[in-house]
Chains A and B, each alone.
Chain A
Amino acid sequence: GQQLNQSPQSMFIQEGEDVSMNCTSSSIFNTWLWYKQDPGEGPVLLIALYKAGELTSNGRLTAQFGITRKDSFLNISASIPSDVGIYFCAGQLGPSQFYFGTGTSLTVIP
């Protein structure tokens, strides 16, 4: 199947710092999604992006749909302890054709 390269794999940051992570693919996607997963829970949708170049914010989170449609970025500003978790990107090729990145594990040190 499609491979989404998500980086970094893990991050350890101080509370208050900004965070950046990204996803790249060899394929062009129609939609990019970012999810957060807490231990023992299912992923929760954070941001959905529908067109190339789109920049969307959700509180302290900002995500962008790359203009090549092969990548996407997620930024978290002024991190807080509850930002801890695993962040996944997902690309959609067509109806019910989703491919997920391998995840970025975020640890926020108070």
Chain B
Amino acid sequence: KAGVTQTPRYLIKTRGQQVTLSCSPISGHRSVSWYQQTPGQGLQFLFEYFSETQRNKGNFPGRFSGRQFSNSRSEMNVSTLELGDSALYLCASSLGTVSMQFFGPGTRLTVL
């Protein structure tokens, strides 16, 4: 079974731009969660989608948004990028219990 895939793996943007990251979960998994990982803050939960609905949301500004499609693929969007948004963005999928999450390799976003 293929694992969680994320595209692109690396991205460089400038301040003020927006970016869309994509995540394809493991086949059959309906829950997709997004995390931001930085050296200073560690792994922080952004939001989780289950069956196209946002089920939970972390403490991030409204510039961070997401959605999930009927095939469970998910996208995350960050608008008006700031330097502090530079991070590794990780996506994790699960069948639905969330405790058994499987992470993708992440998208490394650099904001200049």
**A interface with B by C-beta (< 8 Å):** 1, 31, 33, 35, 40-45, 48, 50, 88, 90, 92, 95-103
Contacts and interface: CB of A to CB of B under 8 A. Distances in A.
A101 to B, nearest CB: 7
A95 B98 CA distance: 7
Given A98-B45, A100-B42, A100-B43, A42 B4 contact: yes
Main secondary structure of the interface of B (DSSP, over half): strand
Contacts of A92: 98-99
Interface in B68-112: 90-92, 98-106
11 contacts: A1-B44, A35-B103, A42-B92, A44-B103, A45-B102, A48-B100, A96-B31, A96-B45, A96-B55, A98-B45, A103-B42
Contacts of A98: 33, 45, 98, 101
Main secondary structure of the interface of A (DSSP, over half): strand
A99 B101 contact: no
Given A48-B100, A99-B45, A43 B90 contact: yes
B103 A42 contact: yes
Nearest 10 pairs of A and B residues by beta carbon: A42-B103, A96-B48, A100-B43, A96-B56, A102-B42, A43-B103, A31-B99, A96-B98, A42-B90, A42-B105
Nearest to B106: A42
A27 B82 CA distance: 32
